Structure 1
Amino acid sequence: MDLSYSDSLIRIPDLSSTAPDLEILRLKNCAILHDIPSSLEKLSKLIELDLSGCYSVRHCPEIPCNIRTLKLDGNGIEHLPSSIEHLSQLVEFSLKWCTRLVSIPNSIGELKCLEEIHLNGCSNLQSLPESIKKLSKLKQLDLSGCERPKCIPELPSCLKDLVASGCTSLEYASTSFILLEKEGVQRLLFAGCDKLDEKVTEDVFKAHLLG
């Protein structure tokens, strides 16, 4: 079901009774949509949900456990529920330009299938949880434009792509994941991070020369 760009859509009905086998629901850029029914979590076969550009959505809805792709870009949400730990099949989690978002729950560390996290443009995000190092399949982390975090905590050794350009308050980033003997990291971007400790730069160069 694709209802993207439905400018007049205010709410969606209880789909658990009318479309119980729904696998994909796209509501991208439904700018005045604000009512997401709690029954959404009953869609046990839903694997993709796109609520990008739904500016009026202020609270993250309860998400079905089998979801694999979750896009909440440009929403008005401030917090994510700790219940996201139940999204055991989630592979891609996108929160681009959620400028009201201030925190990520520590329970995100339970998402063992998660490969991509996109947080670029989350200008009010205060920090990343320490539990992020538990994401044993994480390959890509985009923090570009996250202006408030002062530190990037220890990251999982499987990470291939770290983008932290424009993180203007960033002073320290753990680089232990790039110094391990493994197939090399594909991309490390710290452009515009003027406060970054010199030790981080030294570690990046060391990893490059060794690799």
Structure 2
Amino acid sequence: MCMGMTLPASLKVLFLSDIPNMVALPFSIQNLYNLTDMKIIRCTDLEILPTGINLVSLERLNLNGCSRLKTFPDISRNISSLYLEETAIEEVPPWTENFSKLKYLLMRGCSKLEYVYLNVSKLKDLELVNFSHCGALTGADLNGYPSGIALEGEIIGTELQASSSGLDNSVPKVEFSFINCFKLDEEAVLQQLSYEKLIFSGEEMPLYFTHRTTGTSMAFPLVQSPHSPPFFRFRVCAVAVFDCKPTSGTIGVFTKVNCQFKSRLGSYYDSPYQHDYFSVYQNGSYLLLLDCVVPLRKDNATPTEVDYDYVNVQFHMSSSKFKLKEWGIRLWEEYCSSVENRLGNTNTSPQICEADEDNVGNPLIS
């Protein structure tokens, strides 16, 4: 592979691996307009990628193990899958928001990655982002909103999607993995994202989560207001501990959340279950975080039928190799009686919230 080499313009798949002394790709790569897959792995001397080109057909790019590559690739705006693990890339640049079809961004083990700009609000197809084992990562700008809080229009749109998603479907979420990113400010990340799933390393729940329990349910009163919102919104954090002999590889953890709303007059409503799936490494202890949007009424209910006085939230985690150590929630603003318990306010102290599943009529708060 030399710089003057000509590659055929009809090429659709390019796969190169373990090629010593290949510092740059040949110039003729810019003419590969039919290329859909490019896989260049473990080419440890590769430092330079072409710039100023747009391979319009390229959908999947894999540069895993190119350990001297420092620049984030910009050779296709139609890319859907980017595999950049164990590279020397130092930054995910702001112009990645132009990758409108991006679904997967995997950068596990990028030891020199220091900062991430990723405008989730413009990456509508995004499904999975992995920055695990990026030990130098100190910060992430993940949404591009000036205030760091999701715009109300985005919230409403997501809620409407939740409303029409059916009983067994959950709101689509992006899964972000920040395992072993010990320099990262986790609370700063939490305040930027809405309706996503996150995975951090950790053995203790952050103080950010103001209601917590070691059981499977918790109950607490709801704030009464003249206009009851159609959705109940909260963020969940579960501490999942690997409970078997350490092994390698990943394993799936399934979670299930639902709510039972009750009034003092005896009316009640059981929400549909919200199902989520996390993919985690088998070794270690993790914080699994997800945002929940639960409808407060049945499809044809009138506003007077949704004036509930309290809610019982139930959480279940299904995995034979992980055990649930503790879990907690933090409410969105309209459901909180005090400003200290609202999402976005980190100056809080935890409250222990327990509820017996067979006696949800007596919520306890201490």
TM-score range, shorter chain: 0.7 to 0.9
- Residues 1:33 and 1:16: Cα distance change in structure 2 (over 3 Å): same
Identify the match of residue 105 of structure 2 among 93, 109, 115.
93
Listed as ranges, the matches of 1:55-70 within 5 Å are 55-70=67-82
Q: Report what 2:16 is aligned to.
A: 3
Residues 25-78 of structure 1 deviation map (CA, whole Å, 9 limit, x = unaligned): 001111101111114x42110000011111111111214111010011111111
Q: Report what 1:144 is aligned to.
A: 179
Q: What amino acid is aligned across from residue 48 of structure 2 in structure 1?
A: D
Q: What amino acid is aligned across from residue 121 of structure 1 in structure 2?
A: H
Task: Select between 50-59 and 98-107 the one with higher mean Cα deviation.
Answer: 98-107
Residues 73-99 of structure 1 deviation map (CA, whole Å, 9 limit, x = unaligned): 111111122110110001100111111
- Residues 1:97 and 1:171: Cα distance change in structure 2 (over 3 Å): farther
Asked if 1:163 is matched to 2:199, the reply is: yes
**CA separation in 1, counterparts of 2:54 and 2:203?**
38
**CA separation in 1, counterparts of 2:100 and 2:127?**
12
CA contact 1:130–1:153 (8 Å) conserved in 2: no
CA contact 2:81–2:105 (8 Å) conserved in 1: yes
Give 3-state SS (helix, strand or coil) of 2:34's partner.
coil
Q: What amino acid is aligned across from residue 144 of structure 1 in structure 2?
A: I
CA contact 1:144–1:167 (8 Å) conserved in 2: no
Asked if 1:79 is matched to 2:91, the reply is: yes
Identify the match of residue 191 of structure 1 among 257, 270, 285.
285
Q: What amino acid is aligned across from residue 105 of structure 2 in structure 1?
A: F
Task: Tell me the CA shift for residue 8 of structure 1.
Answer: 3.0
Q: What amino acid is aligned across from residue 16 of structure 1 in structure 2?
A: Q
CA contact 2:58–2:76 (8 Å) conserved in 1: yes
Query: Percent identity, aligned pairs only?
Result: 20
Task: Tell me the CA shift for residue 157 of structure 1.
Answer: 2.1
Give 3-state SS (helix, strand or coil) of 1:3's partner.
strand
- TM-score (normalizing by structure 2): 0.47
Listed as ranges, the matches of 1:127-142 within 5 Å are 127-131=139-143, 137-142=172-177
**CA separation in 1, counterparts of 2:108 and 2:181?**
10
Q: Report what 1:37 is aligned to.
A: 50
Q: What amino acid is aligned across from residue 191 of structure 1 in structure 2?
A: S
Q: Report what 2:234 is aligned to.
A: 176
Task: Tell me the CA shift for residue 156 of structure 1.
Answer: 3.3
**CA separation in 1, counterparts of 2:203 and 2:92?**
22
- Residues 1:108 and 1:55: Cα distance change in structure 2 (over 3 Å): farther
Residues 190-211 of structure 1 deviation map (CA, whole Å, 9 limit, x = unaligned): 9277xxxxxx9432998xx99x
Alignment size in residue pairs: 197
Q: What amino acid is aligned across from residue 46 of structure 1 in structure 2?
A: L
Task: Select between 42-51 and 52-61 the one with higher mean Cα deviation.
Answer: 52-61
CA contact 1:46–1:64 (8 Å) conserved in 2: yes
Structure 1 vs Structure 2 CA RMSD: 3.5
**CA separation in 2, counterparts of 1:31 and 1:171?**
43
**CA separation in 1, counterparts of 2:203 and 2:99?**
28
Q: Report what 2:319 is aligned to.
A: none
Task: Tell me the CA shift for residue 130 of structure 1.
Answer: 4.9
Q: Report what 1:197 is aligned to.
A: none
Task: Select between 1-10 and 111-120 the one with higher mean Cα deviation.
Answer: 1-10
CA contact 2:78–2:101 (8 Å) conserved in 1: yes
Task: Say which one has the larger Rg.
Answer: 2
Q: What amino acid is aligned across from residue 234 of structure 2 in structure 1?
A: S
**CA separation in 1, counterparts of 2:89 and 2:106?**
13
**CA separation in 1, counterparts of 2:20 and 2:66?**
10
Task: Tell me the CA shift for residue 184 of structure 1.
Answer: 2.7
- Residues 1:71 and 1:173: Cα distance change in structure 2 (over 3 Å): farther
Structure with the larger strand share: 2
Task: Tell me the CA shift for residue 4 of structure 1.
Answer: 2.0
